[in-house]
Amino acid sequence: MKFDQASRLAEVVWMARLADMPRGENRAVLQRTYNGEPGCGVDHKDRDSLNNQRSNLRPATDVQNAQNRGIRKHSTPYKGVHFRKSYRKYIAYIQINKKFKYLGVFTDAKEAARTYDREALLHFGEFAVTNQQMGVL
């Protein structure tokens, strides 16, 4: 067996071992892998909690982990943008350190989404998930 194949096999075994454990134990093992401090967990870069490859994991606080969320169901297909019926316009907002920041009112949903993306990159850095990254812009 070649070295490349052996290292891939070792990573697959590592993933299977973690996948077979209950969620709480899985998280504790990953924290020890990153020498996590209290309040520091593990974030999945691609937002797939079943993808436990080492290259997909990074240490993160709970706030950073929340920044790496995708789009939630609401009135537009864009993250950080809602349609306000009473205004007949789009409202852009972002949540920073558990507080909502109002970004403005827009007639165009895409412009509101671009505004959200700029703010997300500014405040969240590598943990930012933008509309453009998700392919909706």
- Domain 69-137 CATH assignment equals 2.60.120.1060: no
Asked whether the whole model's pTM tops 0.75, one would answer no
Asked whether the beta carbons of 59 and 36 are under 8 A apart, the reply is yes
List helix spans (H) across 1-137: 3-19, 23-33, 62-67, 109-124
Distance CA 19, CA 77 (A): 32
What percentage of the chain's residues is helix, strand, coil (to nearest 5)? 40, 20, 35
Confidence tier at 71 by pLDDT (50, 70, 90): low
Segment 15-69, tens digit of pLDDT: 444 445 555 555 555 554 554 455 567 778 887 778 878 788 777 777 777 666 6
Is the pLDDT at 6 greater than 90, yes or no?
A: no
Pick from 54, 47, 62, 4: which is nearest to 29 by CA?
A: 54
